[in-house]
A and B are shown apart, each in its own frame.
Chain A
């Protein structure tokens, strides 16, 4: 079956613009996670969904970041008024209700000029 997919694979935007990053989890996975990874570092947790609701959004750095998962499947990470410091790889992962293993997508490379 298909794994986690993320679109776009690369996004270049200008400072101050709004961007949306999309994640399609593995079918049937109830949990979905967003992470941010800077070059040479480990992923940093942003937000975790269980179904449609955000179970833990403690990792979102500020109110410019927002994520939704309206139907409990696809999720969108939204960043308003982008800043150069937002440039990073944004990773999405999903897992089933029964297992802890998180399956990661290939990521979206965001570059803010």
Chain B
């Protein structure tokens, strides 16, 4: 299943399928991007990050792709599990890489995994 972020804020997938969550970011000067997962009633939880000098980064069951030309970020989740159900946010850091600076957050996409 695939979402287009702002245009489709809810993504519903079957357990075991791959999920793709998309995000368009706003600032071409942003050099650091993060995906967070937020479960109901909890604070955001870090999933994976990527710096602007990279196009792709892989973690455990997750892959982030960055397309700077069109200012687009995507999160791919392999073999989606019921525990992946949450709201997913992309965030961009406007500061220089390595600096701790404020994050600018997207609106979020709700992922629902059907057993």
* Residue total for A at the interface (Cβ-Cβ under 8 A): 28
Closest chain A residue, CB of each to CB of B45: A104
A-B contact count (CB 8 A): 62
Q: Determine if B104 is an interface residue (Cβ-Cβ < 8 Å).
A: yes
Residues of A with C-beta under 8 A to B100: 30-31, 48, 50, 95, 97, 100, 102
> Contact at A45–B108, with CB atoms within 8 Å?
no
Closest chain B residue, CB of each to CB of A31: B100
Interface bits B45-86 vs A (CB < 8 Å: 1, else 0) = 110010000000000000000000000000000000000000
Of the four ranges (under 10, 10 to 19, 20 to 34, 35 or more), the interface on chain B belongs to: 20 to 34
Docked CA distance A12–B20 (Å): 38
Contact of A42 with B49 at beta-carbon distance under 8 Å, contacts A56-B102, A104-B43 already known: no
Residues of A with C-beta under 8 A to B89: 42-43
Within 8 A of A (CB), among B33-48: 34, 36, 41-46
- Residues of B bordering A, CB below 8 Å: 32, 34, 36, 41-46, 49, 89, 91, 93, 97-108
